[in-house]
Amino acid sequence: MDLSVVGKAGKKQWVISNGAMIIAHLIMFMFDVCVKPYIDDSVVRKYSSIGAISSSIIITTFPSIYSILKDMQILRSEVGRMALTMVIISDFIGLVDIFAFEAMKQGEFRVINALYYILSTSLLCALTFNGIPIVMRWIKKKTINGNPVDQEYIISTLLGVFVYAFISDFFGATIGVATFWLGLAIPDRPPVGATIIQQTEVIVNHILMPFAYATIGLKTDVFAMTEYWSTTIPVLSLAVMSIVTKVVSVVIMARFVDMSYRDSLTLSLILGLRGQTEFLLFHHWFTLKIVKTPSFSLLVILTITSTSISSFIINCLYDPTKPYMTNKKRTIQHTPQESKLRILACIYDQESMTNIFSLLDFTNPTTSNPFKIFAIYFIELFGRAAPMFIDHVKQRNEYWDHNNVAVHNAIKLYEKDRKNCIDMNLFTCVTPNRTMYHDICERALMNKTVFIILPFHKKYIEAGNDLLTEILRPGVQHTNAYTFSDAPCSVGILACKKAKAWDIHSTRINNQNTPRQFVMLFLGGSDAREALMLASRMVEHPDVSLIVIRFLANEQAGDILPERKMDDGVVTWFWVKNEMNEKVVYKEVVVSNGFETVSAIRSLNASVSKIDLWIVGRKNGINSTFLNGLSDWSENPELGLIGDFLVSASFDALGCVLVVQQQVLREQHAVPWACY
């Protein structure tokens, strides 16, 4: 949990969070007073516990919200980010509530006990937040850049958790309070935070948590709840009233800051979600006999029921991809030649950075036709819960890790060498793999880009290599699929068969070097037209020669007349523009099925000594005649059938493959395929 988010929170988050919290607490205070006489001591032990029950439902906890939003894949959506920020603010109030409740519990026997509790706990809190960061900085200083933290430091930190739990229990506080403070005090970035997560994630999530849930399930007794139903009804009314009050108060404050009704209700339902933190809190109350078995069972069942219903309603109400779909055309085809081309480049590692920047060089940025490049370096989220987005223009000296610094320096050097024709903005995004596409689409929408370049999920595809995990980019295939589906502009995937397809230093602007042979396979449709417009820009590079192969169906079988007319117009424009260009070769091939299409591609590959780049449209608008019989061959659906064939190990070519999809407008239908 990133505490710095509290200082960066906007006015809207503060107003909704604090306003809803105040309204809900005032209403529930009055309701608690009214319901007190009806709650039997056999169900809830002390009157002070009534306020704790209502407060625990009103106050949302970060771990519960985070895990649910991550599973629902709306962690990086607009409403999801707002909810996470508000939950962190809410957790501060929750910590104060827990502190006050524990002090009241200590003071039930002797007032002086409450004073001792307040003083000792405050001293421990001060020592934790002032001393632990100093120790962690010392450990980081002892760790060589890029290396994991020594095992002895990790073991000492984990043993410190048990020490803090003992101290917390000794002071009379909840056993998890001091350990929670310890977690907040440990820096959430590499090397310490990431190493601790990597070494404890399996045992915590797959061993300890299941046992914790099993313990809660064993202590839940539905029959005891029904047996004492008459005395449990007041607790049920208290819990239900708390849920309703929470939802209504958030909706009121969200509407106050001009959020739509749909987003207001979605936000209120998200902030009403509950999970493992609440279960453990109920179990703590049950252990201390603050609540008895009927009330404990009721709270557990109500938590499961309300979260299930809320999650279903959220899925029905909220579509996080809706803002990305637009009717405004943002494509290379509809971008004037003389205007600045705005491109979003996605980077995962050194190989993807090198290959993408080489492709950008061959796309031929010049002083008269400059590029505006937005480069996002993606890092899988480890060592912290909340995702992080760094704008290196505004946050100049903020980095995630040593690799982040190295990538940033390489990009700045690239920009410096091409300062007259490329303007570069660098971002770093630390987020779970399954929600990276949200950041890609949002950044493309905000910066009005016309083209997104994505790396293929396989780092390299050389014949003879076993394509297993060691050469894959985890989660990238899922990201590419949903980016194709939801992107507000055109998208391209660059797949390279060699680890170093191009030498970035040999492709500098205005530096004549090795001639490059590119091939554009034109199978028709909007994607092919977009790919041809991109190839048209590339052929203006002095080192690039281009072969354009247009496939035509035998006797025009299967042609879609509107698509055919638009194809003819774009091809005619391209040929008129390059008719006198000796570096451009245009051919037409007539085929009757997919096997003839593949044979024509193989013949072309055999006739040309070396092809550095294959350019092809993805799938939209392609005449089905060209693909008959190829559907069973597809291993990578995101590339389309022809693109998948070009990157397959069975195709004897080492050149890179660029698969292009033109922007899918709002009224068009795009469904991401499943890939797990």
How sure is the predictor about 313, in pLDDT bands with cuts at 50, 70 and 90? very high
Domain stops at, among 317, 352, 371? 317
Average pLDDT, the chain: 82
Which region among 212-216, 562-566, 595-599, 662-666 has the lowest average model confidence (pLDDT)?
662-666
User: Is 397 contained in some domain?
Assistant: yes
Q: Are residues 269 and 362 in the same domain?
A: no
Give the pair of three-digit tokens for residue 643: 């693109």
User: Is 668 contained in some domain?
Assistant: no
What CA–CA distance (Å, rounded) separates 354 from 414? 10
DSSP string across 361-411: HHT---SSS-EEEEEEEEEE--S-SS-EEEETTTSTT--SSHHHHHHHHHH
Residue type, 436: M
Q: What is the predicted pLDDT for the residue at 514?
A: 79
Q: What is the predicted pLDDT for the residue at 407?
A: 83
Largest pairwise CA distance in the chain: 97
Residue type, 394: K
Contacts of 230 (CB under 8 A, 6+ apart): none
What CA–CA distance (Å, rounded) separates 36 from 235? 10
- Per-residue pLDDT of 273-306, as tens digits, reads 888 888 888 887 888 777 888 888 988 999 999 9
How sure is the predictor about 6, in pLDDT bands with cuts at 50, 70 and 90? low
What CA–CA distance (Å, rounded) separates 324 from 319? 10
What CA–CA distance (Å, rounded) separates 87 from 70? 15
Q: What is the predicted pLDDT for the residue at 469?
A: 40
Which region among 398-402, 415-419, 456-460 has the lowest average model confidence (pLDDT)?
398-402
Q: Are residues 105 and 213 in the same domain?
A: yes
User: Measuring CA to CA, which residue among 675, 671, 595 is closest to residue 633?
Assistant: 595
Strands 516-522 and 422-431: unpaired
Q: Are residues 243 and 377 in the same domain?
A: no
What CA–CA distance (Å, rounded) separates 245 from 58? 8
User: Is 301 contained in some domain?
Assistant: yes
DSSP string across 604-640: HHHHSS--SEEEEE-STT--GGGGTT-GGG-S-GGGH
Q: What is the predicted pLDDT for the residue at 621?
A: 76
What CA–CA distance (Å, rounded) separates 6 from 13? 9
- Which one is predicted more confidently, 599 or 467? 599
- Per-residue pLDDT of 246-266, as tens digits, reads 999 999 999 998 888 998 999
The answer to whether the peptide bond before residue 515 is cis (omega within 30 degrees of 0) is no
Residue type, 144: I
The count of domains in the chain is 2
Q: Are residues 40 and 81 in the same domain?
A: yes
How sure is the predictor about 463, in pLDDT bands with cuts at 50, 70 and 90? low
- Per-residue pLDDT of 32-67, as tens digits, reads 778 777 776 655 555 556 777 777 788 888 888 888
Q: Are residues 66 and 149 in the same domain?
A: yes
Encode 304-325: b = buried (16+ Cβ within 10 Å), e = exposed.
eebbeebbeebeeebebbeebb
Q: Are residues 303 and 387 in the same domain?
A: no
Which region among 346-360, 483-497, 509-523 has the lowest average model confidence (pLDDT)?
509-523
User: Measuring CA to CA, which residue among 663, 659, 623 is closest to residue 644?
Assistant: 659
Q: What is the predicted pLDDT for the residue at 492?
A: 94
pTM higher than 0.85: no
- Per-residue pLDDT of 611-663, as tens digits, reads 889 999 998 878 888 888 777 667 888 888 888 888 887 788 888 899 999 98
Phi, psi of 371 (to 5 degrees): -115, 145
Contacts of 85 (CB under 8 A, 6+ apart): 5, 9, 13
How sure is the predictor about 470, in pLDDT bands with cuts at 50, 70 and 90? very low
Q: Are residues 526 and 411 in the same domain?
A: yes
Q: Are residues 70 and 105 in the same domain?
A: yes
How sure is the predictor about 86, in pLDDT bands with cuts at 50, 70 and 90? confident
User: Measuring CA to CA, which residue among 388, 386, 387, 408 is closest to residue 397?
Assistant: 408
What is the average pLDDT across 367-389? Answer: 83
Percent of the chain with pLDDT over 70: 88
Contacts of 393 (CB under 8 A, 6+ apart): 425, 426
Per-state percent for the chain, helix, strand, coil, to nearest 5: 55, 10, 30
DSSP string across 498-550: STT-S-GGGG-TT---S-EEEEEEE--SHHHHHHHHHHHHHTTSTTEEEEEEE
Encode 462-482: b = buried (16+ Cβ within 10 Å), e = exposed.
eeeeeeeeebebebbbbbbbb
Contacts of 496 (CB under 8 A, 6+ apart): 351, 355, 456, 460, 461, 656, 657
User: Measuring CA to CA, which residue among 6, 53, 10 is closest to residue 32?
Assistant: 53
Phi, psi of 593 (to 5 degrees): -160, 180
Q: Are residues 164 and 287 in the same domain?
A: yes
Percent of the chain with pLDDT over 90: 21
CB 271 within 8 A of CB 66: no
How sure is the predictor about 123, in pLDDT bands with cuts at 50, 70 and 90? confident
How sure is the predictor about 490, in pLDDT bands with cuts at 50, 70 and 90? very high
> What range does the domain containing 521 cover?
341-661
Q: Are residues 19 and 79 in the same domain?
A: yes
CB 656 within 8 A of CB 358: no
Q: What is the predicted pLDDT for the residue at 506?
A: 41
Q: What is the predicted pLDDT for the residue at 46?
A: 56
Tokens 């993807």 correspond to what residue? Answer: 352
* Sheet bearing 422-431, strands edge to edge: 388-391, 422-431, 371-380, 341-347, 451-455, 490-495, 656-661, 613-617, 516-522, 544-553, 584-591
Task: Return the CATH number at 67.
Answer: 1.20.1530
- What residues form DSSP beta bridges with 532? none
Q: What is the predicted pLDDT for the residue at 670?
A: 52
Task: Return the CATH number at 556.
Answer: 3.40.50.12370
User: Is 85 contained in some domain?
Assistant: yes
- Which one is predicted more confidently, 615 or 154? 615
What is the average pLDDT across 423-441? Answer: 88
How sure is the predictor about 399, in pLDDT bands with cuts at 50, 70 and 90? low
Domain stops at, among 317, 352, 386? 317
Residue type, 557: A
User: Is 383 contained in some domain?
Assistant: yes
Q: Are residues 130 and 197 in the same domain?
A: yes
User: Is 501 contained in some domain?
Assistant: yes
- pLDDT > 70? residue 517: yes
Strands 544-553 and 584-591: parallel
Q: What is the predicted pLDDT for the residue at 546?
A: 93
- Per-residue pLDDT of 315-340, as tens digits, reads 888 888 887 877 788 999 988 877 88
Q: What is the predicted pLDDT for the residue at 376?
A: 93
Q: Are residues 154 and 218 in the same domain?
A: yes
Give the pair of three-digit tokens for residue 595: 């096997």
Q: What is the predicted pLDDT for the residue at 507?
A: 42
Q: What is the predicted pLDDT for the residue at 73?
A: 82
User: Is 634 contained in some domain?
Assistant: yes
Give the pair of three-digit tokens for residue 667: 């009224």
User: Is 332 contained in some domain?
Assistant: no
Cα 80–86–90 angle (5° rounding)?
A: 140
Q: What is the predicted pLDDT for the residue at 38?
A: 73
